Amino acid sequence: MSIVTSKIAIDFGSSTTRFVVGKKENVVANATALAIDDTEDKIIAYGQDALEMAGRSPDTITIVYPLSAGVIADYKAAKQLLKVYLRQAVGPLQFKKPEAMITVSASATSTEKRALIDAGKEAGIKTVHLIRTPVAAALGVGLPITEPKGSVIVDIGNGTTEIGVFSLGGTVSGAAIRTGGANIDEAITVFMRREHNMVIGHDEIKRIKHEFVDLVGESTTSTVVHGSNLHQGTPKTVTIKLGQLNPYIETVIQRVVLVMRKVMERTPPDLLSDVIHSGVILSGGGSQLKGLPEYLSKKLHVSFIVAEEPELATVKGAQAALIHLEEYRRSLLA
């Protein structure tokens, strides 16, 4: 029996795993999470089903997040989750051994890269290629990175923020910091604890971040928050104003501003001039925070534009790199 080789692009993110097969356009996404029954040491749920158990499951069930800050934190869980998603994508792995392009943080060490390659192979991938997240994001949004002009992307994921400056097919400068959407979640959690003696759940945190936070919004805007009393554990409801919350959020965003300034300082003046004219592209799920482009533009004196479908940029870029592997192998792969 001949073995069919499929090609699959995988954005193995800290909060969400996205994959696309071959040249197809539809991207499949699911949460990067597993639910483990500790009494039998077996997986009972994965993806969104596992995520929905967080905060609601008994002590015998542990929710595991295999990645942290863009790299593998739990090797066994990462391998198990990849195997599940690969079967979903290409079918039984004994008949189809896929070739994969997987995104990896630009901050990943050689050991962390090797762990990702090994996990992929043990999960059933025949050949594993790695592409740095900012490179994948730049390809995914269609930046002209092979041209003799400066192009900049800032990809804000759940665990990392990745910055890349490109020209003539290479990375001129860049940086990766382990700051992202998860830190904004933590900032909201800290605010509720310090200011209102409250503990709030995962769903409420996400609602506040996606529906209420606005970095340039009116400070008088308010929302009702439901949770529990920090000390008594009883239900509690409060009304919070945007002006109270934003300083906590801005503490996180300021880290992005500082590293972006350092990257711009290392960028040659001619390329920086290109960026001033064309602007900086924002991608990743974190780029959808309301008011973020305007906030960054004010702080850094250059325009920021959110990419179309920003959360799909990296997986689409990984797909493009896999399709045109020989073209990108030497200069752009990790």
1, pLDDT greater than 50: no
How far apart (Å, rounded) are the C-alpha atoms in residues 74 and 119?
Answer: 10
Q: What does DSSP assign to residue 312?
A: G
Report the candidate in 156, 71, 144 with the shortest Cα–Cα distance to residue 334: 71
Per-residue model confidence (pLDDT) at position 3: 44
Per-residue model confidence (pLDDT) at position 95: 62
Q: For the ranges 32-36, 137-141, 180-184, 326-330, which has the lowest average pLDDT?
A: 326-330
Q: What does DSSP assign to residue 114?
A: H
307, pLDDT greater than 90: yes
How far apart (Å, rounded) are the C-alpha atoms in residues 27 and 284?
Answer: 15
Kindly report, residue by residue over 111-130, the tens digit of the pLDDT: 999 999 999 999 999 999 99
Which stretch, 47-61, 90-104, 160-174, 317-331, has highest mean pLDDT? 160-174
145, pLDDT greater than 60: yes
56, pLDDT greater than 90: no
The proportion of the chain whose per-residue pLDDT surpasses 90, expressed as a percent, equals 84
How far apart (Å, rounded) are the C-alpha atoms in residues 133 and 115?
Answer: 16
168, pLDDT greater than 70: yes
69, pLDDT greater than 70: yes
Per-residue model confidence (pLDDT) at position 94: 57
* Phi–psi pair at 135, nearest 5 degrees: -65, -45
186, pLDDT greater than 70: yes
Q: What is the mean pLDDT of residues 162-178?
A: 94
* Phi–psi pair at 136, nearest 5 degrees: -60, -45
The proportion of the chain whose per-residue pLDDT surpasses 70, expressed as a percent, equals 97
Rounded-to-10 torsion of CA 43, 49, 52, 55: -10
104, pLDDT greater than 90: yes
Kindly report, residue by residue over 78-101, the tens digit of the pLDDT: 999 999 999 888 877 656 789 999
Kindly report, residue by residue over 229-286, the tens digit of the pLDDT: 999 999 999 999 999 999 999 999 999 999 999 999 999 999 999 999 999 999 999 9
**Residue 145 CA: distances (Å) to CA of 9, 155, 263, 271, 327:** 20, 15, 17, 12, 13
Q: Are 32 and 13 in contact, with CB atoms under 8 Å apart?
A: yes
How far apart (Å, rounded) are the C-alpha atoms in residues 212 and 245?
Answer: 10
53, exposed or middle or buried, with CB in 10 Å at 0-12, 13-18, 19+?
middle
Mean pLDDT, all residues of the chain: 93
Per-residue model confidence (pLDDT) at position 287: 97
Per-residue model confidence (pLDDT) at position 5: 60
Per-residue model confidence (pLDDT) at position 329: 81
Q: Are 323 and 101 in contact, with CB atoms under 8 Å apart?
A: no
